[in-house]
Amino acid sequence: MGAWGHEFDENDDAADWLADFAETLEWDGVDEALAVTDADYLETSGAANALAAAEVVAAGLGKASPRLEPEIAEWASDQASEARARRQDAVLALGRVREDSELQELWEDADEDSRWLAAVNETMARL
């Protein structure tokens, strides 16, 4: 894995997902990224994408991270009903990422999972 950090946008996979999403701005991409709860093993890329997608949902709920690109946050906030329809999926996806994912294992192995967990929990609180 290339760059990775505690915040949702500091991971190469999430940054790539956000860049691709910014080009399409369609909820289908969010839905696909949040569909992680049934995966046998949630790899780092899927977990990172789910974190980024959850940030889009949070923005649609009027609680955008200041780290989210303004054009994505504005687009999502204009579609609050779509975000509300995805809130529970985002909560479930974040729970899976936080409790049972390769990304969680990597942070745990690095002995730096407390800062990462705080960032994930902060996103969860905005949902």
| pLDDT for the residue 61 | 98
| pLDDT for the residue 82 | 98
How far apart (Å, rounded) are the C-alpha atoms in residues 58 and 23?
19
| pLDDT for the residue 77 | 97
CA distances from 63 to 12, 47, 127 (A): 23, 21, 8
How far apart (Å, rounded) are the C-alpha atoms in residues 58 and 95?
15
User: Which tens digits make up the pLDDT trace of 34-91?
Assistant: 999 888 999 999 999 999 999 999 999 999 999 999 999 999 999 999 999 999 999 9
| pLDDT for the residue 112 | 72
Q: CA angle 26-102-108, nearest 5°? A: 125
